[in-house]
Amino acid sequence: MSKLVNLTIDDKKISAPEGANLLQVAKDNGMAIPHLCYHKKLSPTGACRLCIVKIKGQRGLLASCAVQVSEGMEVTAFDDELEEARKYLLDYLLCEHDESYDGSHPDEFRELIFRYGLDKKENRLFPSIWKELGYPKDESSPVLSYDAAKCIKCFRCIKACDEVQGKNVLSFTNRGIISYIVGGFDKWGESECDGCGECIQLCPTGAIVEKPHRSEIKIENGICRVRTTCPYCGVGCQLELMVRNGKIVRSNGVEGVSPNDGRLCVKGRFGYDYVQHPDRLTTPLIKKDGKFVEASWDEALDLVARKFTEIKETYGRKALAGYASAKTTNEDNYLFMKLVRTVFGNNNVDYCTRLCHASTVTAMLRSLGDGAGSNSIEDYAHSDCMLVTGNNMIETHPVTATYVKYAVQRHGSKIIIIDPRWTPLVKDAHIWLQPRLGTDVALLNGMIRVIISEGLIKKDFIEKRVDGGMKAFESLKALAEKYTPEYVEEVTGVAAPLMEEAARIYAGAERPLIATGMGCSQQVTGTHNVFCLINMMLITGQIGRPGAGLNPPRGQNNVQGVSDVGASPFTYPGYISVEDAENRRRVAGIWGLPFGELDGEKGLSTVEIMQAAYEREIRGMYIMGENPMLTDPNLNHTEEAIKKLEFLVVQDIFHTETTPFADVILPATAFAESEGTYVNSDRRVLRVRKAVDPPGQARQDWEIIAEIAKRMGKPLGNYQHESDIWDEIAQTAPIFAGISYDRLEYHGIQWPCPAKGHPGTATLFEERFNTPNGLGKLHPVEYAGQSEKADKDYPFILNTGRILYQYHSSTMSRRNKSLTDFANEAYVLMHPGDALKYGFSDGQKVHIASRRGEISNIRVQISDGVLQGELFMPFHYSEAPVNRLTRDELDPYSKIAPFKLSAVRVGR
């Protein structure tokens, strides 16, 4: 920490860290030195010169934004000469500036014009010339407008794009007084701009403004601002929603708080219109004679309670199951889990984690004792090596990627990417290892062999912190011996020298982070893949300190939280086993139940529930906020299973591909209509706050759940507010014991937080792992080929995944014009060699079939970003349900399905 120095500003004595920015120090001490080009997130520019000051012993007027404070500094911030100079500079800027104002955006320049009396033309020295300069306007972007006549050339947008987002899309064209900003080489809409809007948020004049709802916004009139958490990916970005007349009209990032410090992606900034979309479900619906009809809440809830009770009484308590939701709050999911366990009477509760990171969590729990990320998201900015495997971070977790790019572009950190497909982060990577699909274990064992053979292990760490010490290490060493560089290259296709260099860089780094994604986890060998990553991490000692560890970025806003609060067939809240009698006794006591009422057997996982429905072992289901008819593997089998159910309840905010199969549809609230909490990818508990009223009769999920339980004769508790539910969660799960709504008012807290005075835990495993003996465990595993392979009938292996502009099953994202204007059509990536071999052309529509199903009218995109013989498709689009092609074979440990490897053929 920098030492404090003493200085004076206008005779006021101030202490500040040595080397701090003088302008920021003045601002922090309530001195409103005017400025336009400075922003605390950006490097100083000194372009506007408005922040000029005098410093004793130094000549001339100095831009305070470019000065670092030092001991004894004496600063004059305001006197007649300085104020007159500032007024002159503003006047000069104003003469080439269109000062019209529509009230739709903040305008720091306008505020200064009024502050210095330049709103009155008689106080100006310079005539207005902006019209003669012929400044252009650019309306080509789907999400923003640029008006060069309002631009003061302050560089804030350029630096925001470059220094904060790491994209470097913006620059000046022309010179001098007629220069202006362009995206790429000319038009914003033709550039690589992805619509994150960082430039908008940091623009001081309104030269760059959001397009959506601009005509509806008057910043100074009737705007309510509500802070909440983004409903998309697992970063947990803090949003400030602007609401006018009961409608969300804008979203900004909240600066100065973790995890995003004001950063947003295109979905966080522009993806809110679905909340007020006319397609929203507004009233309960009951299927009668094959058609849905509107019903009262009493009629719908009575029917649900009666049918679930009848199924339980007729077929037994194991005949019911539920899907919880990664899109809803911890409070909603806790009560959902509690309903399944105490009212249904079994542990058949799961959710989409079984379709994404279950294998990661399983491997981490077995090896480290915790299944969550070990580090903070901000650690990426200070890491010197990042191993990113199966993780298209720039598209799936864009704000996390900004920290990664910052480390590379500002500090020279090295990225190692392991991915069969090109992703945008490859542009910043030091090494890209492109293995064939399904060969991760061979590649990682090869890296482990290099580390061992070159003496790059950390023997002290192994002896002190690994179960079995060097004896366990010797078992891993023996297994890895056969994974020579030559053998690994033969299996994976990765050049041996690249693999060897990657291993050396990772092992020799001081602060290396592993970011493992669903490319690694969504395989029948997913748990083995992550075991290998952990093995490599443990023998090199690269965990248990800031900037070093293993971090799976979670795909949805509350995937982490749903597991944390116990919506799992295997664990109660806080990851305590349902099979342990003492755990059941403790939980039963908190819930006020007899010990014997809690089921001591593991429940069925997500895919197993559908398989059991197909076998008619599950007769009734309650699905909250999930869409298995688009997201489950082997959709043809899933459809057959759902049709066999005697009773299905779907609770959601829209009709989905699943709701047509329901007997009752219950309308729920969206994120901006709800109160509660989420947990993000770095274990940070974050508040969700209501900003607008729900449409029609929609209710918050937990209220619906509680009412069903009550009508089934087993009330869940006397909850008056979401905070009451959270307090029970904190009592049930020791990892949350010290967290309360009061403590979450201004910032999130990372679990474990065992007591009210505890600050939370930014870095896991600093002294011990969370295993019974506190030691990490090695799991040596052999490479095994996939059970499904390409052959003459199905010559391609299909990989699936996500893209930036859509989200999960796209029920939310496709109801935002801002997002669909960027991307709204399914496609399949094909290598140029395959296109030539099989006679396909770019843009051609094709038919794709696997051994399980087929889909049609998919547009070909020819790309060398995939290997020959491999394809890639996004899974978001209902008209191209790629999961009709995938299989439901399961990883034996985590019960995850292999979404990443399906043998297919392509036809015209």
Q: What is the DSSP string of 48-66?
A: S-TTEEEETTS-S-EEGGG
pLDDT digits (tens, 9 = 90+) for 440-452: 999 999 999 999 9
Specify the 3-state DSSP secondary structure of 144. Answer: strand
DSSP secondary structure string for all residues of 233-269: STT--EEEEEEETTEEEEEEEPTTSTTTTT---HHHH
Cα angle, residue 813 at apex, residues 820 and 257 outer, rounded to 5°: 115
Question: Crossing angle of helices 440-453/496-508, nearest 10°?
Answer: 60
Statement: residue 893 has pLDDT above 90: no
Q: Which two tokens stand for residue 587?
A: 């939980």
CA dihedral over 19, 23, 28, 29, signed as positive or negative = positive
Specify the 3-state DSSP secondary structure of 128. Answer: coil
How far apart, in whole angstroms, are the C-alpha atoms of residue 524 and residue 607? 13
**In this predicted structure, what is the pLDDT of residue 744?**
97
**In this predicted structure, what is the pLDDT of residue 888?**
84
DSSP secondary structure string for all residues of 718-730: --SSHHHHHHHHH
Q: What is the mean pLDDT of residues 607-623?
A: 96
What is the average pLDDT value for the chain, to the nearest integer? 95
Phi and psi torsions of 799, nearest 5°: -110, 145
**In this predicted structure, what is the pLDDT of residue 358?**
80
Q: What is the largest CA-CA distance in the chain?
A: 91
CB atoms within 10 A of CB 44: 21
Q: Provide the 8-state DSSP code for 555.
A: S
Q: What is the mean pLDDT of residues 869-886?
A: 93
Statement: residue 357 has pLDDT above 90: no
Question: Crossing angle of helices 722-732/330-339, nearest 10°?
Answer: 70
Q: Which two tokens stand for residue 813?
A: 């994202």
Q: Which amino acid is at 108?
A: E
Tell me if 599 sits within 8 A of 850, measured CB to CB: no
How far apart, in whole angstroms, are the C-alpha atoms of residue 169 and residue 174? 16
Tell me if 205 sits within 8 A of 199, measured CB to CB: no
Q: Provide the 8-state DSSP code for 632.
A: S
**In this predicted structure, what is the pLDDT of residue 591?**
96
Q: What is the mean pLDDT of residues 352-361?
A: 77
Statement: residue 844 has pLDDT above 90: yes
pLDDT digits (tens, 9 = 90+) for 383-424: 999 999 999 999 999 999 999 999 999 999 999 999 999 999
pLDDT digits (tens, 9 = 90+) for 44-89: 999 999 999 999 999 999 999 999 999 999 999 999 999 999 999 9
CA-to-CA separations, 230 to 133, 372, 442, 460, 624, in angstroms, rounded: 42, 20, 38, 43, 19
Q: Which two tokens stand for residue 317?
A: 């308590």
CA dihedral over 760, 762, 765, 769, signed as positive or negative = positive
Tell me if 555 sits within 8 A of 353, measured CB to CB: no
How far apart, in whole angstroms, are the C-alpha atoms of residue 498 and residue 488? 11
pLDDT digits (tens, 9 = 90+) for 803-842: 999 998 889 999 999 999 999 999 999 999 999 999 999 9
pLDDT digits (tens, 9 = 90+) for 640-676: 999 999 999 999 999 999 999 999 999 999 999 999 9
Kindly give the pairing relationship between strand 170-173 and strand 180-183: antiparallel
Tell me if 230 sits within 8 A of 239, measured CB to CB: yes
Report the share of the chain in percent with pLDDT over 70: 100
Tell me if 219 sits within 8 A of 240, measured CB to CB: no
How far apart, in whole angstroms, are the C-alpha atoms of residue 496 and residue 791? 27
How far apart, in whole angstroms, are the C-alpha atoms of residue 765 and residue 750? 14
All structural domains of the chain, each given as residue ranges with its CATH number in brackets, are 1-78 (3.10.20.740), 297-356+558-750 (3.40.50.740), 358-551 (3.40.228.10), 796-907 (2.40.40.20)
pLDDT digits (tens, 9 = 90+) for 527-560: 999 999 999 999 999 999 999 999 998 888 999 9
Q: In what order do the strands lie in the sheet with 291-294?
A: 291-294, 285-288, 664-667, 647-652, 620-624, 320-323, 349-350
pLDDT digits (tens, 9 = 90+) for 103-131: 999 999 999 999 999 999 999 999 999 99
pLDDT-based confidence at residue 2 (cuts at 50, 70, 90)? confident
How far apart, in whole angstroms, are the C-alpha atoms of residue 375 and residue 766? 10
Q: Which two tokens stand for residue 21?
A: 């920015």
Tokens 């005779």 sit at which residue? 11
CA-to-CA separations, 86 to 81, 98, 233, 509, 833, in angstroms, rounded: 9, 19, 44, 49, 63
Question: Crossing angle of helices 358-368/526-539, nearest 10°?
Answer: 40
How far apart, in whole angstroms, are the C-alpha atoms of residue 453 and residue 203? 54
Q: Which two tokens stand for residue 284?
A: 């309960």
Q: What is the mean pLDDT of residues 483-497?
A: 97
How far apart, in whole angstroms, are the C-alpha atoms of residue 587 and residue 566? 11
Tokens 């006319």 sit at which residue? 278
Among 574, 601, 581, 870, smallest CA distance to 736 is for: 574
Tell me if 652 sits within 8 A of 281, measured CB to CB: yes
CA-to-CA separations, 319 to 309, 606, 641, 804, in angstroms, rounded: 11, 14, 14, 39
How far apart, in whole angstroms, are the C-alpha atoms of residue 114 and residue 646? 69
Residues forming beta bridges with residue 749, ordered by sequence position:
685
Q: What is the mean pLDDT of residues 615-638?
A: 93
**In this predicted structure, what is the pLDDT of residue 657?**
95
DSSP secondary structure string for all residues of 265-332: -HHHHHTTGGGG-TT---S-EEEETTEEEE--HHHHHHHHHHHHHHHHHHH-GGGEEEE--TTS-HHH
Statement: residue 1 has pLDDT above 70: no
User: In what helix (H) or strand (E) does residue 225 lie, and over which residues does it extend?
Assistant: strand 224-229
CB atoms within 10 A of CB 883: 27
How far apart, in whole angstroms, are the C-alpha atoms of residue 105 and residue 333? 38
Tell me if 65 sits within 8 A of 35, measured CB to CB: yes
How far apart, in whole angstroms, are the C-alpha atoms of residue 97 and residue 152? 7
Specify the 3-state DSSP secondary structure of 472. Answer: helix
Phi and psi torsions of 214, nearest 5°: -60, -40
How far apart, in whole angstroms, are the C-alpha atoms of residue 673 and residue 615? 39
**In this predicted structure, what is the pLDDT of residue 221?**
87
Tell me if 678 sits within 8 A of 686, measured CB to CB: yes
Q: Provide the 8-state DSSP code for 879.
A: T
Number of residues in the chain: 908
Q: Which two tokens stand for residue 140?
A: 């080509």
